[in-house]
Amino acid sequence: MSNETQYARGYEIGGIEISKSQVRSVVLHLGLYGFAGLFLVPYVWMASTSIKPEYLIYDSSPHWLTTDVTFEWYRVILFESPVVSWTIATFALAAVGTLVVVLVDSMAAYALARLEWPGRRIVMGIILASFMVPAAVNLIPIYAIVSELGLVNNLLGIIFPYAAGVFGVFMLYQFFKNIPEELEEAARLDGFSTTRIFFRIAVPMQFPAIAALGLFSFIGLWNSFLWPLIILQNEAMYTLPIGLVTLETQEVTDPGLVMSGAIIASAPLLILFLAMQDYLFKAVALQGTVK
């Protein structure tokens, strides 16, 4: 374009332009860190409520930090509520469910991407089309089927419908497609069976993608709410999200109790997140680039 604007943002032109970009940078930092500060407010409130004694919680002027620290809420929630059994149930749901999803999805994705079998293309078409089926739509019929199968109050009643989702198959399909043909041919010439090729070549090669799917499934199941709410009808079997909400809706709700419970429910995932952050970001980013 024009020559006047060409040098307008360069450093060499003099004092004014330099400070302009510095101003920009300051504004950018102020904006970002200001917003980040706002984003942290709910965490601070959760943490402080969980260690404040009752008189500070109910005080009409907020106490963000306190020197009067109590661990009474943690004692009550750990020893006088079913939170420990909820945690075990949540962990069992997330762990078993993740295993099922990862195994079943990677096998199916491999079969669809690498093996020739009658009906493969039709099946792939149906799987792609069912991306359009929103989860909430099937709520009633799946509930009817799960209760017919006697899986109400059973973690499998949550895991099976979850594992029927097509996202994992579709995602891994793209990755298995990328394995070079020659590698598989060579393995076949060496007398490898399909099962062996799958476990010894395909899975190790695309392990990052499979692990990413595992991570999503674990987080998704740990945090799942609607389906466990419908399927688990016995308080002792609740998962953490459901249990916490029943704590909240009891006649006398103690904010300190609910917030300490919220911290107990979130801590495992927040630690997992901090430990695997870079990896998780890569995995999430995959979603948007899979076409």
Partner 1 sequence: MSTGSTADTDRPKGLLERLPFVSDSRSARESLAGIGFASPFLALFGLFLLFPLAYGFYISLFNWDPVFIGQSEFVGLSNYTRMFEDPVFWTSLTNSLLWTLMIVPLVITVPLVLALAVTKDVRGKWFLRTVFFSPSMLTVAVVALIWMQLYEPTYGPISYYLGFIMENPPNWLNSHTYAMPAVVIASLWGGMGVNFVIFIAARQGIPERLYEAARLDGASTWQMFRDITLPQMKHALLFVMITSLIASFQVFEIIFIMTDGGPGQNTQTMVVFLYEAAFGNQNFGYAAAIGYVLFVILFVISVANYYLLEGYTSRVEGEVIEGDTNE
Site for partner 1 in 222-251 (CB under 8 A): 222-226, 230, 240-242, 244-245, 248
Site stretch for partner 1 (CB under 8 A), options 24-32, 69-77, 78-86, 206-214: 24-32
Closest CA to 105 of 53, 25, 158, 163: 163
**SS3 per-residue string spanning 137-174:** HHHHHHHHHHHHCCCCCCCHHHHHHHHCCCHHHHHHHH
Q: How far is the CB of 180 from partner 1 (least distance, A)?
A: 18
Q: Is 141 in the site for partner 1 (CB under 8 A)?
A: yes
Nearer to partner 1, 57 or 89 (CB): 57
Under rule CB under 8 A, residue 108 binds partner 1: yes
**Alpha carbons 8 and 171: distance in angstroms, whole number:** 46
**Interaction between residue 189 and partner 1 (CB under 8 A):** no
Task: Give the one residue of 22, 153, 250, 287 binding partner 1; rule: CB under 8 A.
Answer: 287
> Closest Cα partner for 147 from 85, 248, 231, 46?
231
Q: How far is the CB of 80 from partner 1 (least distance, A)?
A: 19
CA distance 177 to 6: 46
Q: Contacts with partner 1 in 45-104 (CB under 8 A)? A: 45-46, 49, 57-62, 64, 103-104
Stretch in the footprint of partner 1 (CB under 8 A) among 65-73, 79-87, 136-144, 177-185: 136-144
User: Which of 18, 23, 32, 186 lies at the binding interface for partner 1 (CB under 8 A)?
Assistant: 32
The tokens for 192 are 């490898």
Q: Which of 39, 79, 181, 234 binds partner 1 (CB under 8 A)?
A: 39
Q: Does 208 bind partner 1 (CB under 8 A)?
A: no
Q: How many residues bind partner 1 (CB under 8 A)?
A: 105
User: Which residues 263-282 are close enough to bind partner 1 by CB under 8 A?
Assistant: 265-266, 269-270, 272-274, 277, 281
Query: Cβ(183)–Cβ(206) under 8 Å?
Result: no
Count the Cβ atoms, other than its own, within 10 Å of residue 59: 10
Residue 121 neighbours by CB distance under 10 Å:
11
Q: Is the dihedral of CA 14, 19, 20, 25 positive or negative?
A: positive
Stretch that binds partner 1, among 11-19, 179-187, 206-214, 283-291 (CB under 8 A): 283-291
Residue 18 and residue 231 in contact, taking contact as beta carbons nearer than 8 Å = no
